[in-house]
Amino acid sequence: MSFTRRNVATRILALTAAAFGLTLASGAHADQLDDITKKGELVVGVLGTDEPNSFIDPQSREIIGYEVDLARAVAQKLGVKLKIKQLAVAARIPELQQGHVDLLAASLTHNKEREAVIDFSLTTFVTGQKVLVKTSSGIKNVADLNGKKVVTIKGGTQEPNIRKAVPNVDVVTFETGPQAFQALQQGKGVAFVNDEVSLLDQHAKLGAAQAQYTILPQNLSVEPLAIGIKKGETALKKVVDATLRDLEKSGDAEKLFYKWYGPNTKLKFPTRSFKINSDKVEA
Amino acid sequence: MPHLDFSLLLHGQYREWLLSGFLFSVALTGLTLLFALPLSLVVALLRLAPSKLAQALGFAWVEGVRSVPLLVHMLFWYFAAPEALPESIKTWLYAHDIEATASLIALTIYTSAYMAEDIRSGLRAVRGGQLQAALALGLSYLGSMRWVILPQAVRVTVPPLISQTLNLWKNTSIATVIGAAELMYQAQRVETASFRGFETFAVVTAAYLGMSLFITALAQLYQWRYPLRVS
């Protein structure tokens, strides 16, 4: 008796709720890994606005980047086509929960709070969150931001982290990193909070104006980035982790790091300070 | 269905955020109304004025404003327009609540175009003979409007204006893109912090719906209390 009246009612309710665009974990369903193999397509959600993790290549107009390459490796391992879907920061976890994307490779911080709602792969990158200020503002450390207006991105860990570090700070959030940075450049805030990598990238893009901006030395937090997986999809997680482990073992992970972050890139990271080998994070 | 738990949202910090967002949205609606009403009256009078230049100005305002999406208005008044101001005014403005100011300007201009059209059609509903008679009695164009046409037009115009206010109330949600701390902005903040997206947006939907129904009830009440009189 799988088609009881209650079941139908539940489906109608679920459909109605989904139509309203609300976050709703779908009910029991087949294993997601099977679905992906059957479809022949792996849908991966990325930001597309966060160089070099995922961004639009001005020549090809396609989304490329470090995380896109990782996603491609997973698709290759599964023997399916890779489909990239661009998401807003705040939409990442809801889109994954609703099954609109199979994986998130979207500059996603792995933290304890989020472990309650989704699963994470091995850590694929470690960054810190930092603060970019106008040099002329005279702000020398994070504590100077007390009572000041700072700008950042909606829906990420940036806002909670800066509020934790400076309880009496005024935060204004925007849809994307470039928008928030624009607001800082125009002077609508005194500081811009973001992942260190994104800040370095945006700072590098300023060219001659670089001297007008300073990145404060303190880390607001250490942010381990990982691929997001829907809660309970253990078979899919196993494949993703195995792919990442293989990349690490073959040295390809190291190559990818230097391709996107190394000394020949805008970001100029001299060395790689982490290995892809753990899916544990500190509280 | 996932387990729904509203208690988290209805107490403590999250409730405070949602409540401040609601009050901000209400204040934004009220202030916009305050500025948009006189502005739209001016635009409507321009469109009906005898002067061709005035008509063209009114036409350009209405069509220019309502042909551009509200989202674009918001981004323009936040990111682009203030940059043209002199440095000292700009610095002062940016040190204050530029997010609220820009959203107020964008909403006022956007709403004025729609309200002007409602007022214009209300004025046109008063028979042409009335204006001619007023002019023949020696009243000026503005005098005829003030003493003869407008008082009659009010009854026709108020219900559609209330309906525009309903649109305005919902339109305040667009201000989230420029960081104005209205209801949608606070809802996204609560969702990010609590991972309770379903509950958060259910509460917010109820708030929008409740306020909208209240505005609709006002329109009904007005029509019942001041029914249309045919001149």
Q: Say yes or no: A118 contacts chain B, CB-CB below 8 A.
A: no
The pLDDT, as a whole number, for residue A9 is 53
pLDDT in tens, A6-63: 555 555 555 555 555 444 444 445 689 999 999 999 999 999 999 999 999 999 999 9
Mark whether A80 and A212 lie in a shared domain.
no
Contact A90 B202 (CB under 8 A): no
What is the token pair recorded at A155?
A: 């829906």
Question: Please, are residues A230 and A119 in contact by the beta-carbon 8 Å criterion?
Answer: yes
Ranges of beta strands (E only) in A186-252 are 191-195, 213-215, 221-230
DSSP E strands, B65-172: none
Q: Report pLDDT digits (tens) over A75-119.
A: 999 999 999 999 999 999 999 999 999 999 999 999 998 999 999
| Cα separation, A216 vs A193, whole angstroms | 10
In-domain check, residue A14:
no
What is the pTM (predicted TM-score) of this model? 0.78
Nearest residue of chain B to residue A156 (CA atoms): B192
CATH label of the domain that carries residue A142: 3.40.190.10
Q: Which residue from B117, B123, B126 is spatially nearest to B61, judged by alpha carbons?
A: B117
Average pLDDT over residues A145-169: 93
Percent of chain A with pLDDT over 70: 89
Query: A170 with A109, same domain?
Result: no
Please tell me if residue B2 touches chain A, with a CB cutoff of 8 Å: yes
Alpha-carbon gap, residue A2 to B176, rounded angstroms: 44
pLDDT of residue A26: 44
**Does one domain contain both A206 and A90?**
no
Distance from CA of A173 to the nearest CA of B (A): 5
Residue B230, in any domain of the structure: no
A172 touches chain B (CB under 8 A): yes
Query: Can you give the pLDDT at residue A269?
Result: 85
Q: Tell me, yes or no, whether A17 lies in a domain.
A: no
- What number is the ipTM of this complex? 0.81
Give the list of residues 6+ apart from residue B43 with CB closer than 8 angstroms, or none.
B58, B61, B62, B112, B113, B116
What does the pLDDT look like over B76-135, one tens digit per residue? 999 999 999 998 999 888 988 999 999 999 999 999 999 999 999 999 988 889 999 999
Q: How many CB atoms within 10 Å of residue A271?
A: 9
Do A199 and A135 fall into the same domain? yes
Instruction: Give the nearest partner residue to A175 out of B90, B177, B192, using CB atoms.
Output: B177
Q: Is the pLDDT of residue A1 over 60?
A: no
The pair phi, psi for residue B32, each rounded to 5°, is -60, -45
Q: List b or e across A164-185, with b for residues whose CB sees 16 or more CB atoms inside 10 angstroms.
A: ebbeebebbbbbbbbbbbbbbb
**A208 pLDDT higher than 60:** yes
The per-residue pLDDT for range B18-40, each reduced to its tens digit, is 999 999 999 999 999 999 999 99
Looking at the structure of chain B, the number of domains it has is: 1
User: Hey, what are B107's tokens?
Assistant: 């909403």
The two structure tokens encoding residue A159:
């806002």
Q: Which residues constitute the domain of residue A38?
A: 29-126+224-261
In chain B, % of residues over pLDDT 90 = 73
